[in-house]
């Protein structure tokens, strides 16, 4: 079965850097890093395009913990994504977050350019799972505006 949020073989440079950082945080043969090892200050050139999502189980819910200023949703930090309408660049974020947790692997979402005044600009988004408290406890998100 084809993964609905499969990561393409070629990533934009900023997403490639975020993926390399995530892979570099893994300990030994671990499939994913621990969330408390992540320091967004390690990626100062990307910080404005990064966001963190807290993951809750039973029921599965996602809360925006931190949002980079280039993403335009600073007031949403601390809110659950099913309670707010974020719009671009967070389209289908809940579905992607759920797929990331279910697959326990990185996921990708791309939004093509649309025509017309006020249409959202194209972007690509990467979600990277991080382990904590015996489960996937956080997602590191990165957005690249193509």
Q: If we measure between CA atoms, which residue out of 79, 80, 74 comes closest to residue 47?
A: 74
- What are the tokens at 114? 């649309």
Question: pLDDT per residue over 31-73, tens digit each?
Answer: 999 999 999 899 999 999 999 999 999 899 999 999 999 998 8
Which residues, including other chains, have CB under 8 Å from residue 123's CB and lie 6 or more apart?
A: 88, 89, 110, 111, 143, 144, 145, 146
Report percent pLDDT > 90 for the chain. Answer: 76
- pLDDT, residue 117, reads 56
What CATH number does the domain located at 11-23+68-112+121-146 have?
3.30.450
* Predicted structure pTM score: 0.92
Instruction: Give pLDDT tens digits for 91-137.
Output: 999 999 999 999 999 999 998 866 655 656 899 999 999 998 899 99
d(CA 146, CA 137) in angstroms, rounded, equals 29
Check: CB of residue 70 under 8 Å from CB of residue 49: yes
Contact 52, 65 (CB under 8 A): yes
Domain segments of the chain: what residues?
Answer: 11-23+68-112+121-146
Is residue 82 within 8 A of residue 61, CB to CB? The reply is: yes
Burial of 98 (0-12, 13-18, 19+ CB in 10 A): middle
């Amino acid at each position: 079965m084809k993964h609905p949020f499969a990561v393409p073989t070629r990533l934009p440079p900023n997403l490639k850097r975020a993926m390399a950082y995530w892979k570099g945080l893994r300990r030994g043969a671990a499939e994913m890093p621990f969330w408390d090892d992540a320091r967004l200050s390690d990626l100062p050139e990307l910080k404005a395009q990064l966001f963190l999502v807290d993951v809750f189980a039973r029921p599965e819910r996602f809360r925006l913990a931190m949002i980079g200023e280039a993403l335009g949703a600073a007031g949403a930090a601390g809110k659950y994504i099913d309670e707010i309408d974020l719009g671009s660049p967070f389209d289908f974020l809940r579905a992607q977050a759920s797929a990331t947790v279910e697959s326990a692997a990185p996921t990708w979402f791309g939004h093509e350019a649309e025509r017309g005044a006020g249409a959202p600009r194209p972007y690509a988004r990467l979600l990277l799972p991080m382990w904590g408290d015996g489960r996937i406890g956080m997602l590191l998100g990165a957005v690249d505006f193509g």
